[in-house]
């Protein structure tokens, strides 16, 4: 085989065989095929696409390019959840202990923030002492003990994905649906999951801005995963407004703990300040995990079980156990709640009376990057004690001068830049608030 022949075949809309895909992936990993030829093939795939069968071949070859997590010493079932990325998305921090308390094993390999979207690993590492660099053996041990573990991708797991993603990032081919599908699925199957639940976000704060694009990705994930013999659920959710009430690394840990510690207390919180949207998405995704694992008869049964372990405190106990097993200091974390903030603070206020009709998630996400919550490039450091608190959600009546968001940063210049960016995404109109819209848009399953 020659790489140039495979590039031309795909350029001319040909369907690649498993042998051809294997030749490219293995050659790129071992260095026998140069980067410029792989770049050309990525661009051909970007424009011509791949069939579900081709995507499955690519996913399998990427899995086989490195080590996989050995969970044979731990009884299953193993179910993981993956989000396509959003602003204020701290669902994994709440979902994993809930699912574990319901008897589902959750092997979770997470990523870091990049661009306007947050990263689970950065949020976890804002917990004092928390370690995410787990060896495969320790990863399995922690899952066996408390039901879930949270780690990052090592150099030995799916090296083909690490190399291909870096190349996609600099060749303008990140948004290709088959390439996204194979990247996500290869990492998730390498971690040992038997079933996967996907949170495919759509809206200004998501990578998939349109619902049609999000649906295309969701269907690709379901079809490819099912073709590889896995149980798959994809849930399309809104990402027009930041999810929940806080955006920031430790701020999102705080909000997660608030739901784990006292979910019933939400009823006593003003509607504008509640995390109802966060709770709705978290419980729905977790309920689907229970269904996929055979731990619930239906989504409704799963929702009831999830609420039960929240109300009983079992989910919080799982979080505390996991945090200690991964080196975190639970007591110090609790002491920092509500107090660990960057020294500079300001409020973003309403410029007129009316109805808050827009709070653009992308604008808030970019504003948070200016504060240090996220990264503009992979080598940037992130800060644990900066971010935003959302004080009013769209649909709220506001008066001129009333605070809509509160921000924390380490310099007045960073705050000013962040505030300017967020203000671009705030709209206030005269019309009355419309009906509240649910967060769940569609669900696609292969169980």
**Residue 171 contacts by C-beta under 8 Å, 6 or more apart in sequence?**
39, 42, 43
Query: Known catalytic residue: 187?
Result: yes
Distance CA 154, CA 419 (A): 36
Helix, strand, or coil (residue 44): helix
DSSP 437: P
Angstrom CA distances, 69 to 63, 64, 143, 292, 314, stand at 11, 12, 12, 20, 27
Active-site position among 116, 168, 246, 421:
168
Contact between 210 and 218 (Cβ < 8 Å): no
Active-site position among 65, 92, 183, 368:
183
Query: Known catalytic residue: 360?
Result: no
Q: Please, which residues bridge with residue 79 across strands?
A: 195
Active-site position among 187, 188, 230, 305:
187
Token pair listed for 199: 């949170």
The burial class, CB within 10 Å (0-12 / 13-18 / 19+), for 92 is buried
Sort strands 79-83 and 195-202 into parallel, antiparallel or unpaired: parallel
Handedness of CA 33, 39, 40, 45 (dihedral sign): positive
Query: Known catalytic residue: 81?
Result: no
Query: Known catalytic residue: 168?
Result: yes
Contact between 345 and 405 (Cβ < 8 Å): no
Q: How far apart are the first and last CA of the chain?
A: 38
Active-site position among 80, 89, 122, 161:
161
**φ/ψ (deg, to 5) at 14:** -75, 160
Token pair listed for 408: 């924390």
Distance CA 3, CA 74 (A): 42
Query: Known catalytic residue: 410?
Result: no
Element at 287 (helix H, strand E): helix 276-293
Sort strands 148-152 and 106-110 into parallel, antiparallel or unpaired: parallel
The owner of tokens 């007129």 is 352
Token pair listed for 438: 């649910």
Contact between 195 and 232 (Cβ < 8 Å): yes
Active-site position among 10, 82, 90, 393:
82
Distance CA 129, CA 110 (A): 18
Residues known to be catalytic: 82, 161, 168, 183, 187
């Amino acid at each position: 085989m020659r790489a140039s022949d495979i590039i031309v075949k795909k350029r001319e809309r040909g369907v690649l065989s498993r042998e051809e895909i294997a030749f490219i992936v293995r050659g790129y990993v071992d260095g026998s095929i140069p980067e410029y030829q792989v770049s050309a093939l990525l661009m051909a795939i970007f424009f011509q696409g791949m069939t579900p069968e081709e995507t499955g071949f690519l996913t399998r070859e990427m899995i086989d390019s490195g080590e996989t997590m050995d969970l044979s010493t731990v009884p299953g079932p193993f179910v993981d959840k993956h989000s396509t990325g959003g602003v204020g998305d701290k669902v994994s921090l709440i979902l994993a202990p809930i699912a574990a308390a319901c008897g589902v094993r959750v092997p979770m390999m997470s990523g870091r923030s990049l661009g306007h979207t947050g990263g689970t690993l950065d949020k976890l590492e804002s917990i004092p002492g928390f370690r995410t660099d787990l060896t495969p053996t320790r990863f399995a041990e922690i899952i066996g003990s408390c039901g879930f573990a949270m780690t990052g991708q090592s150099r030995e797991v799916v090296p083909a994905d690490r190399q291909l993603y870096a190349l996609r990032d600099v060749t303008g081919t990140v948004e290709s649906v088959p390439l996204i599908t194979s990247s996500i699925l290869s990492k998730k199957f390498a971690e040992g999951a038997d079933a996967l639940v996907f949170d495919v976000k759509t809206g200004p704060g998501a990578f998939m801005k349109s619902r049609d694009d999000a649906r295309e990705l969701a269907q690709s994930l379901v079809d490819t995963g099912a073709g590889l013999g896995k149980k798959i659920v994809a849930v399309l959710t809104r990402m027009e407004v930041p999810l929940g009430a806080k955006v920031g690394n430790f701020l999102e840990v705080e909000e997660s703990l608030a739901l784990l510690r006292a979910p019933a207390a939400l009823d006593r919180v003003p509607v504008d300040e509640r995390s109802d949207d966060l709770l709705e998405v978290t419980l729905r995704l977790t309920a689907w995990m229970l269904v996929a694992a055979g731990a619930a008869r239906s989504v409704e049964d799963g929702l009831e079980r999830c609420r039960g372990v929240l109300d009983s405190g079992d989910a919080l106990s799982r979080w505390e156990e996991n945090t200690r097993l991964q080196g975190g200091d639970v007591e110090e974390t609790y002491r920092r709640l509500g107090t660990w903030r960057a020294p500079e603070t300001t409020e973003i206020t309403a410029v007129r009376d009316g109805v808050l009709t827009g709070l653009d998630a992308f604008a808030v996400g970019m504003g948070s990057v200016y504060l240090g919550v996220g990264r503009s490039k992979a080598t940037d450091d992130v800060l644990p004690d900066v971010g935003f608190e959302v004080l009013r959600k769209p649909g709220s009546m506001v008066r001129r001068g009333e605070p809509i968001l509160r921000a924390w940063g380490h310099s007045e210049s960073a705050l000013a830049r962040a505030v300017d960016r967020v203000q671009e995404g705030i709209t206030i109109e005269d019309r009355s608030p419309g009906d509240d819209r649910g967060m769940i848009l569609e669900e696609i399953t292969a169980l």
